A and B are shown apart, each in its own frame.
Chain A
């Protein structure tokens, strides 16, 4: 099915552990984005990618790592999770200067 899929939908992890959130899109969109959503802050851009092997920082990149070896995948890794990274994470994809399509989100809890 065409679309953008995030996995897992829910994740609980311990402080200090590494965790990877997956994002897969089937449209071959050039751009992909990772956002986190927290109460009172709206959505904040973590990282984005303009194409395979091209990534760049957004507003809040510290503590996160991304890669994009294939156009369709854009995983987000928390190298050493902290409680402040408890959030809902959204992946999105699209073309330059057009609408973005969002995944259903991953709810991450760091305990």
Chain B
């Protein structure tokens, strides 16, 4: 079974609004990563947060990690139409990456 599960499965917002998506996982991790996938393309790495970190920022992205609850959230602030994509969390347990089923984000101009 997969490590990560994203919630919600789909999200539709207006341009300029914030988008929040959540990820839950099952076992201990070394780090957790978020990736974006545009339709028909490969995945692109967005941000990595290590197991001893609680929050990390990168531009308009903010990631939190709660290892006690085995959960993470990705916040995209001031969304743009170009942010329309699928977002996946990936848990890194040393040798392996496990991905969730993803959140499909649609940003309406």
Q: Which residues of A contact B (CB under 8 A)?
A: 31, 33, 35, 40-45, 48, 50, 56, 58-59, 90, 92, 96-105
Q: Which residues of A contact B31 (CB under 8 A)?
A: 97
A104 and B95 within 8 A (CB): no
A45 to B88, CA, bound (A): 14
Contact assessment for A97 and B96 in the assembled complex, using a CB-CB cutoff below 8 Å: no
B81 contacts partner chain A, Cβ-Cβ < 8 Å: no
Distance (whole angstroms) from the CB of A35 to the closest CB of chain B: 7
Interchain CA distance A89-B98 in the complex, whole Å: 15
Bound CA span A14–B52, Å = 49
| Contact partners of B98 in chain A: CB under 8 A | 45, 59
- Which residue on A lies nearest to B43, using beta carbons? A102
Chain B residues contacting A101 (CB-CB under 8 Å) are: 45
Q: Are B41 and A104 in contact (CB under 8 A)?
A: yes
**A44: nearest chain-B partner, CB-CB:** B2
Residues of B within 8 A of A (CB): 1-2, 4, 30-31, 33, 35, 40-45, 48, 88, 90, 92, 94-102
B35 to chain A minimum Cβ distance, whole angstroms, is 8
Name which residue of chain A comes closest to B99, CB basis. A43
Asked whether A42 lies within 8 Å of B42 as measured between CB atoms, the reply is no
A42 contact from B30, B44, B100, Cβ within 8 A: B100
Residue from A42, A45, A102 within 8 A of B101 (CB atoms): A42
Contact A48 B99 (CB under 8 A): no
Cβ A35 vs Cβ B99 within 8 A = yes
Q: Which residues of A contact B92 (CB under 8 A)?
A: 97
